[in-house]
Amino acid sequence: MSSSAHSAAASPGVPRLAQHFASIEVQNHAARLGMWLFLSTEILLFAGLFVCYGCYRYLFPEAFAAASRHLDLTMGTVNTVVLITSSLTAALAVHYAKEGKNGVVALMFALTIGMACIFLVIKGFEYSHKFAEGALPGPYYRMEAVQLPGVPLYFTIYFLATGLHAFHVVVGMSVLVWLMFKAMREKNFGPNNYVAVELGSMYWHLVDLVWIFLFPLLYLI
């Protein structure tokens, strides 16, 4: 295959083939494999927090149970429904990208981004409430309602886990915004060129999956 064929710009429905790949199929396989490896490192990052939570909950079961009752279950439940729904729209974006319906792809990503904004706004209200009542991490804890050893540690894990998750939400939103504008302006997604949409959706599913673990650990158990 000639160098010009490798470096040719992508036209609608035709992906760009990088020079170091033999075919589009090999390039797509490498992209998917790279994303799975990246997602595995992200899972390991959150796994460390889950292990810390499990260890300290074993040491301070009463404190963790009492502290979890001071989280807003309604807001947490609404955020869970919002994120699960956003995962559906992200999956639909991949489906419509395979059919070449770029306008619908952009719409699905716009809905996903909108629900991500709702999630962050609700989380912001939760944080402001925690700051107001003094449910802060570590030495900054000053809530008088619960005075048990281990409660400040619970809120340390709460802010670390949910804050790191919120950061990933923002990163995911940035990726989806780029894909949304790409679908709107270039209109080059199609049955032979949808891997970028697929990878962006995979990252967003990771964001949802992490929250599905955080919600019961922090709010329900």
Q: Which long-range contacts (CB under 8 A, 24 or more apart) does 40-47 make?
A: 42/168, 42/206, 43/206, 45/164, 46/161, 46/164, 46/165, 46/210, 46/213
Domain contains 30:
yes
Domain contains 9:
no
Domain contains 135:
yes
> Rounded mean pLDDT of the chain?
88
Split at pLDDT 50, 70, 90, the class of 88 is: very high
pLDDT of residue 150: 84
Domain contains 17:
no
pLDDT of residue 187: 83
Domain contains 3:
no
pLDDT of residue 112: 97
* Residue span of the structural domain in which 72 resides: 22-220
Q: What is the mean pLDDT of the segment spanning 22-49?
A: 86
Domain contains 7:
no
Tens digits of residue pLDDT in 142-193: 877 777 888 899 999 999 999 999 999 999 999 999 999 999 988 888 888 8
Domain contains 214:
yes
The CATH number of whichever domain residue 64 belongs to comes to 1.20.120.80
User: Into how many domains does the chain fold?
Assistant: 1
Flag the least confident range among 51-60, 85-94, 182-191: 182-191
pLDDT of residue 163: 95
Q: What is the mean pLDDT of the segment spanning 132-147?
A: 81
Q: Which residue has the higher pLDDT, 28 or 110?
A: 110
Split at pLDDT 50, 70, 90, the class of 1 is: very low
Domain contains 209:
yes
Split at pLDDT 50, 70, 90, the class of 9 is: very low
